[in-house]
Structure 1
């Protein structure tokens, strides 16, 4: 009998608690379940997107190998519209830009590079901006080329950016500024990198002198 009474008291307490907090608890549980369901669903969606984007990127690479420039551009456009938030999208844009450039279609090359510069991560943005500046340099659109290199870029690209600025300034016959840019490029370019020798040649071509190596302490 004592057990029955104790059980009744527990049931009464539980009922009173549920009347006060049950509705709130239900909503908390529902919200937690919805959050977990959303999280797992998002992960599945991300994996699915990456898998499909990977397949499309392989198709794009196949079109590059086949030198089918039109198919390359179609695949890149499809990638950007369907999988624009994946890493494959800026990769495809850079590849499509190279394909267009080699085909002599500079307008499309610039469009693809601009897309990568606006939608890629920091590294893809830097690569896209450097290549875009190169295309604009070829077109003698010097001010636009310098503008393409404006803004913050990852430190590891500092040498390449300064070098490209030197090329643009040299093309404008702004030799003093070009020398400054090439010197800045040398200052952050490792001596073991092959690109350093080319920068030195360009610096000397605009009347500069390669700095003497610092003596070891």
Structure 2
């Protein structure tokens, strides 16, 4: 096919542009396509992981509401899988709290302690770590490991936990036979609770201890 001079000049300019920039353009295009495919793949993987984690969490919840050694074994197995394979999912922390509660209810304090220690050790990585520390202090209190229990809730309490931590410290100190220190901790809890009805319960503890 014959081209006039103007068309030929356009073709020559296009060929020159392609010779200069064509390889780079194709590389950029492929990079964009690969990035998009990778992003889509990551999205699918994240969704798949979340779905798997939810399945184990639901199985754990179901087992926690049942009785028998088999139910306990399933609680521990589901929690172990969540911690080992899905630790970054929100289901892992929630599953640990459910598992700890189920084991504590069955008198398995060692099992409950192991669950809560894992979550408490996660620190700022989990918003539920302060809850785990509070619960762990309670389990250690039941197990008469008073110094270990206090260690979980010493120092400045996380935001929103000042009253609960002070109340638990009072419980531990009272169990240790330190009434004056226990009352001091409970009074701090009452101050932190403010108008919360929980202050009445804490005051009952003070009254009972002072009347003993």
For normalisation by structure 1, the TM-score amounts to 0.80
* Cα 1:56–1:175 shift into 2, 3 Å: same
Which residue does the alignment assign to 2:27?
A: 27
2:187 is matched with which residue: 183, 193, 202? 183
Residue 127 (str. 1) matches residue 131 (str. 2): yes
Question: Bigger CA drift: 89-98 or 168-177?
Answer: 168-177
The separation in 2 between residues aligned to 1:107 and 1:122, in whole angstroms, is 22
Which residue does the alignment assign to 2:61?
A: 61
| Residues 85-140 of structure 1, C-alpha deviations (whole Å, 9 max, x = no match) | 21111111111111222222221111111122234854321111111011111222
1:5 Cα deviation from its structure 2 partner: 3.4
The separation in 2 between residues aligned to 1:16 and 1:199, in whole angstroms, is 85
Question: Bigger CA drift: 76-85 or 105-114?
Answer: 76-85
**Aligned 1:6-155 pairs, distance under 5 A:** 6-67=6-67, 68-119=71-122, 122-150=126-154, 154-155=158-159
1:205 Cα deviation from its structure 2 partner: 4.3
Total equivalences in the alignment: 204
Which residue does the alignment assign to 1:5?
A: 5
Structure 2: unaligned runs, 5 residues or longer: none
The answer on whether the counterparts of 1:76 and 1:96 sit within 8 Å (CA) in structure 2 is yes
Structure 1: unaligned runs, 5 residues or longer: 208-217
Aligned partner of residue 104 in structure 1, secondary structure: coil
The answer on whether the counterparts of 1:123 and 1:154 sit within 8 Å (CA) in structure 2 is no
The separation in 1 between residues aligned to 2:18 and 2:194, in whole angstroms, is 70
The separation in 2 between residues aligned to 1:16 and 1:203, in whole angstroms, is 90
Tell me how large the CA RMSD over aligned residues is: 2.5
1:206 Cα deviation from its structure 2 partner: 5.0
2:166 is matched with which residue: 154, 162, 174? 162
The separation in 2 between residues aligned to 1:109 and 1:156, in whole angstroms, is 24
The answer on whether the counterparts of 1:129 and 1:149 sit within 8 Å (CA) in structure 2 is yes
